[in-house]
Amino acid sequence: MNLADNSVSARDLVVVYRTARGTVPALDHRSLEVEGGGSVAIMGPSGCGKSTLLGLLGGLARPTSGSVTIGGTEISSLAEKARIQFRRENLGMLYQQDNLMPHLTVEENVGLQLAIARPGEQPDGDVHALLERLGLAALADRLPDQLSGGQRQRAAIARAVIHLPAVILADEPTGSLDPDNAERAIDTLIDSQRKIGATLVLVTHDPKIAARADSIIALEQPIPNDAATDAD
């Protein structure tokens, strides 16, 4: 799926969850514009919809209303299979936990993402070069349990960028790291993002981390609203 550019655009996004006690708004008419290759940090109090927004941008969920467009493709209107394919090829995901496959070595975790995104390619060189650049070459054949938290998160960053995604979505990527490792991880992330020219959307609570982004968007707590429709 070829993209026109790396820009990310979200318009008037609404997400409402239906519960036994009525409907709960998770996101209330939010919009977002990020230029291709730029980075944006999303901040806000707990429950304001940061991660929900990230899920919509990553095509992991569909909004109740509104649209998400990445590189000219409106992913919010894509069918499930198309969204999966879009995500596979164009997005890199990073989470608070590393979520590495515990039975795969570092290079295999990274290689798996490449195999998923570009099946049939022989990526030895790409993977090794990336691991070298991220300081993980010596740990390439280690399993995640044999790594420190910071090393695991860097391996997760490698996995998120190996397939040269158009957009990197990161949800509190330093949330479970100590300050030193957090600093190093965010350096690695931003460095990698810039190297591949991807657009970065970063959800964080940490102002210091947010400050590393080109811009910051602050979200507020949505007002309960019974009139909205269901979320996906």
Q: Which of residues 65-124 bind another protein (CB under 8 A)?
A: 81, 84-85, 87-89, 93, 95-97, 99, 101-105, 107-108, 110-117, 119, 122-124
CB of 21 to another protein, least distance (A): 16
186-205 residues in contact with another protein (CB under 8 A) are 203
Under rule CB under 8 A, residue 52 binds another protein: yes
Tell me which DSSP letter residue 215 carries. Answer: E
Of the candidates 115, 50, 93, 109, the one whose C-alpha atom is nearest the C-alpha of residue 189 is 93
DSSP state of 77: G
172 near another protein (CB under 8 A):
yes
Contact between 181 and another protein by CB under 8 A: the answer reads no
Q: Compute the least distance from the CB of residue 154 to another protein, in Å.
A: 16
Q: Per CB under 8 A, does 13 bind another protein?
A: no
Among the listed residues 49, 82, 73, 43, the one whose alpha carbon sits nearest the alpha carbon of residue 63: 49
Sign, CA dihedral 60-62-63-69, equals positive
Place of tokens 């519960």: 19
Kindly list the strands in the beta sheet with 215-218, ordered across the sheet, starting from the edge strand earlier in the chain. 91-94, 167-171, 199-203, 39-43, 215-218
Which positions lie near another protein, rule CB under 8 A? 46-52, 54-55, 58, 60-61, 81, 84-85, 87-89, 93, 95-97, 99, 101-105, 107-108, 110-117, 119, 122-124, 127-128, 140-141, 143, 145-146, 159, 171-172, 175, 203
